Amino acid sequence: MKKVVIHSDGGCHGNPGPGGWAAILAYAEHQRELSGGTPATTNNRMELQAAIEALGALKERCEVEFHTDSVYVKNGVSAWMSNWKRNGWKTKEKKPVKNEDLWKLLDAAVAKHEVTWHWLKGHAGHQKNERCDQLASAEIAKIKQAHSPAQLQELLLEFSAKDDAKESTGKLPGNRSEP
């Protein structure tokens, strides 16, 4: 089984706001950088998206050493997710898990590999983590260039309205497949 080392990061300008994610995958002497972004999102969603995209880029089952500066992602995968699943994607307070859509995608992506999760302090000089931060920030800059401030504000309002609806009902508006 191939051994792959992944570093990831996600971020937002404003939270919520325009966001970017990035990951670096390393196998033997090969390295691949991935990045993307969304005009209206949260920091946690971008951290999750980075992990999903990184694991999804692997073409076969791998042994993965995954490095993230997100306590949310690391603890979510290693400590919280099994309880959420057992409780029907509800917290111990019986509330819907925030970002359930992305947690489910990450759960499916993790299941395809043998993943060991590592937390590292962000902005502390870790070369690959710093590079991921640069890539994610570059994606945010692209989004800001491609959209006017008014467009970004409108997208943020739409995002916030969906988030508010999800908080109050436990479902995304228009999404009938969620319980």
Q: What are the catalytic residues?
A: 9-10, 47, 69, 123, 133
Q: Please give the C-alpha separations between residue 109 and each of 8, 64, 105, 127, 134, in angstroms, as whole numbers.
A: 15, 12, 6, 25, 25
Six-digit token string for 153: 């504000």
3-state secondary structure of 96: strand
